[in-house]
């Protein structure tokens, strides 16, 4: 999936769209997506001015965006303006390596379980062959009233 197709499945836009491309997608199983981390990201001037590091919560958010892409593609539907994906839980998060400008983050997210509109995922974010972050995510797919 290129950025144009990603924009059809995610409501996020700049500066909060955190997935640039999908490299692999096996419906109902896993997704491999990437984000190119550049110095012009809006969070770097404040986090931190003399040692820019991507905030860990944004890495976890990017994993969740990849997970949402996997879920919508697995269901065979494109979300509309009434569709929303909420975090229901985040467990076992570990930050193993800082992510800095020039890094390319690879998000490998797999579905562990799905029941009705609740999905549980295992996500790993890597830079090269090094794990940067890993987490278990639980998300709920909802329709706005």
Catalytic residue among 12, 47, 50, 51: 47
Cβ-based neighbours of 97, under 8 Å, separated by 6 or more? 127, 130, 131, 132
Helix ranges (H only) for the chain are 3-9, 56-75
- Is 47 catalytic? The answer is yes
φ, ψ at 32 (rounded to 5°): -125, 115
User: In the numeric block, which tokens belong to residue 24?
Assistant: 């692999």
Residues noted as catalytic: 47
């Amino acid at each position: 999936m290129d950025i144009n197709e990603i924009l059809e499945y995610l409501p996020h836009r700049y500066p909060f769209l955190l997935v640039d491309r999908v490299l692999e997608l096996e419906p109902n199983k896993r997704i491999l997506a990437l984000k190119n981390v550049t110095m012009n990201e809006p969070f770097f001037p404040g986090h931190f001015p003399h040692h820019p590091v991507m905030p860990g919560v944004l890495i976890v958010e990017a994993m969740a965006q990849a997970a949402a892409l996997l879920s919508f593609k697995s269901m065979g539907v494109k979300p509309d303006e009434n569709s929303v994906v909420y975090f229901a839980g985040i467990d076992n998060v570990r930050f193993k390596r800082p992510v800095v400008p020039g890094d390319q983050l690879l998000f490998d997210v797999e579905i562990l379980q799905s029941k009705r509109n609740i999905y549980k995922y295992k996500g790993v974010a890597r830079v090269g062959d090094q794990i940067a972050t890993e987490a278990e995510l639980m998300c709920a797919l909802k329709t706005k009233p």
